[in-house]
Amino acid sequence: MTANLSTTSYALLGLLVFDSTTSEQGLTGYELKQRADRTLRFYWVSPATSQIYTELDRLNRHGYVDAIDDTSGKRNTRRFRITGVGRDSLTTWLHTSEHDFPILKHPIALRLLMGSLMGPGEVESMLDSYVEALGARRHELEAVRDMLGDDDSVAYPARVAEWGLAYYDSEVEIVNKLRKDL
């Protein structure tokens, strides 16, 4: 039986695949949230903790992950590992899903669209703040890219990090061009 999974479910399965190459114990929902915050947020959305647990429950019901209760600590913890069925489903999704065009939800572009309702100084301040935020985010992603190094086992995540760095650079170029045009 093939479940109709969300892209978030597939993203979580992907994070669990990365874990299965380094650990047999699996990840808790909290650890998945931390991993999503460190990785997915640069190019997708980092799901809320409640969404992660909802998706993990669904994946467990369909046999795509195993839930293992860990009672070795002070409190009971549930760890999740991808199953063979989960890996097969993820692989099928990677090979057969539509290559959707990304949905651009750009709050700065939306506000700039209505820039005539703001003063030129406010638009300039908004753009300054955005460029500053881009620099901070780029710095964070650059640290991720540096951490990945040149290890072949993480070559694809490294390429995605490079793509993200180029994206942040292009956003700064766009803002600089907008400033000249305005």
Q: Does a structural domain hold residue 72?
A: yes
Q: In whole angstroms, what is the distance from residue 57 CA to residue 35 CA?
A: 18
Q: Does a structural domain hold residue 70?
A: yes
> What is the Cα 30 distance to its own chain's centre?
15
The CB-based long-range contact list for 61-68 (8 Å cut-off, 24+ gap) reads 62/1, 62/3, 62/5, 64/3, 64/5, 64/9, 64/13, 64/89, 65/13, 65/16, 66/26, 68/25, 68/26
How many domains is the chain built from? 2
pLDDT at position 175 is: 97
Q: In this structure, are 58 and 114 located in the same domain?
A: no
Q: In this structure, are 71 and 127 located in the same domain?
A: no
Q: In this structure, are 134 and 81 located in the same domain?
A: no
Q: In whole angstroms, what is the distance from residue 119 CA to residue 115 CA?
A: 7
Q: Does a structural domain hold residue 28?
A: yes
Q: In this structure, are 126 and 70 located in the same domain?
A: no
Q: In this structure, are 32 and 60 located in the same domain?
A: yes
Q: In this structure, are 23 and 86 located in the same domain?
A: yes
pTM of the model: 0.80
Q: Does a structural domain hold residue 101?
A: no
Q: In this structure, are 130 and 172 located in the same domain?
A: yes
pLDDT at position 82 is: 95
pLDDT at position 124 is: 95
Domain residues for the domain of 17 are 7-96
- Residue 175: phi and psi, rounded to 5, are -65, -40
pLDDT at position 22 is: 55
Q: Does a structural domain hold residue 1?
A: no
Q: pLDDT in tens for each of the 182 residues of the chain?
A: 567 899 999 999 999 988 665 567 889 999 999 999 988 888 888 899 999 999 999 999 999 999 999 877 788 889 999 999 999 999 999 999 888 888 888 999 999 999 999 988 999 999 999 999 999 999 999 999 999 999 998 899 999 999 999 999 999 999 999 999 98
Q: In this structure, are 49 and 19 located in the same domain?
A: yes
Give the Cβ contact number of residue 2 at 10 Å. 10
